[in-house]
Structure 1
Amino acid sequence: MLLLLKFVVEERNFNFYNFFRIPFFFLATPTGKIPILEIDKKILVESGAIYRFLGSEFNLRPKSTRDNAQMESAVEYYNDFRDEIRPYFRLIAGLTDEGDKEKLYHEIFIPASDRVFKRYCGIINASKSGFLADEGFSWGDFVIAEKVVSLKNMDSDFGKRFPEIVNYQERVHNIEKISDYVTNRKFSII
């Protein structure tokens, strides 16, 4: 989310709240969740809604409804993957001590990531632009590129297993308006 905000921040004044900015702020939010985007003193919650709003507001959404649906489908596919690997992720992130790391890695993470990123390679290779949408770079590319960074931080073999996906992530991160931020930001597993 921060990457997309860095891309559009000069365009408009937003207040963005997440756990890293104000820990436990989410306890006082309308839904008890974060992130929250405040625009013109109005609150918008839920990551997907925030991404879609910013994508529409700053022309980071494919104009073709079909192309947009394809891009959003790719983002939703990652959400399904995230849910599938949740037991492994929670253990790696230190959110639980339940489970065997090696077993979860080999039985959940590896098969799921192989299936999902094989599909992403197909989507990106079939795209006329080299991004998720034929029309070019979109808000969905921010989402997936950031997820790839997290996965590389979780799995030292990720880049060896999916070099095309890492090249895609680097292409996104080399976009002029965000490349300095990406280079200088602090490390985080998530």
Structure 2
Amino acid sequence: MSPTCKLTYFDAMGIGEPIRFLLCYGKIQFEDIRFDFEKWPSMKPSTPYGKVPLLEIDGKKMHQSAAICRYLGKKLGLAGANDWESAQIDMAVDTITDLRLKVTEYYWEPEETTKQKKKETLLNETLPFYMEKLDALVKENGGYLVAGKLSWGDFFFAGVSDYMDCVVQFDITKDHPNLAALKKKIRELPAIKEWISKRPKTTL
């Protein structure tokens, strides 16, 4: 029997999408609970540390997107084969998170002049820096982030990159062939391809 599973997150891809990818890949049926950004202030006090996504699985509640993905990765045989491989996945995911936070910081900047400056820095410095290094990492590891094989870190990258594409309004992997190939590889997995074909259309 499939576990009783609920994912609560904004009506967006964001950092909820890697979790959705992993749940779909693992054929774990889940209730995709979404809410509008306008409802967040009233919901925030009832969440652990005032953040989402939240995953409830078999009555146990989890928060922190990377921790949730790591948990699912272990369940699905997508974690490292040893402590070193696991650490390498964590390093890659933390690096992707560093980039994602810079993208988010730009997107939510309320002051227009400051936002334009952040956009210039993001497009001309931050994205090229991280993407070049991540692209080289994937090339070094035979088409994956770690150890030449599929890991939960690859799903994390593919899911989060969908969100980052929406923010900057272009495919962030377009000039980085190894990352582009990895993203395509994940998106063409049958379970992920099916999810993408039916997931709600969102702006983030």
**TM-score bracket, shorter-length normalisation:** 0.7 to 0.9
Structure 1 CA distance for aligned equivalents of residues 116 and 171 of structure 2: 14
State percent identity of aligned pairs.
Answer: 24
Superposed CA RMSD in Å reads: 2.7
Number of residue-to-residue matches in the alignment: 183
Q: Normalising by the residue count of structure 1, what TM-score does the alignment of the two structures yield? A: 0.81
Q: Deviations over 1:63-91 (max 9, x none)?
A: 12212211211110012223334432224
Aligned to 1:139: 152
Quick one: structure 1 residues 18 and 63, their matched pair in 2 at CA, closer, same or farther if it must change by over 3 Å? farther
- Give the number of the structure with larger relative contact order, counting CA–CA contacts within 8 Å between residues 6 or more apart: 2
Unaligned runs of 5+ in 1: none
Query: What SS class does the counterpart of residue 37 from structure 1 fall into?
Result: strand
Question: SS state of the match for residue 108, structure 2?
Answer: helix
Q: Which residue identity lines up with residue 40 of structure 1 in the other structure?
A: D
Which residue is equivalent to 2:75?
Answer: 57
Residue 136 of structure 2 aligns with an amino acid whose one-letter code is G
Amino acid at match of 2:60: K
> 1-side partners of 2:181 and 2:104: how far apart?
25
- The aligned counterpart of 1:182 is 196
1:152 maps to 2:170: no
Alpha carbons of structure 1 residues 160 and 14: separation in structure 2 relative to 1, 3 Å: closer
Contact 1:14–1:38 (CA under 8 A) maintained in structure 2 = no
Q: TM-score, normalised by structure 2?
A: 0.76
1:75/1:143 contact within 8 Å kept? yes
* Counterparts of 1:54 and 1:150, CA distance in 2: 20
1:37 counterpart = 2:55: yes
Give me the whole-angstrom Cα distance separating, in 1, the residues matched to 2:171 and 2:75: 37
Give yes or no for contact 1:124–1:132 (8 Å, CA) kept in 2: yes
Q: How does 1:80-91 map to 2 (within 5 A)?
A: 80-91=98-109
1:103 aligned partner, one-letter code: K
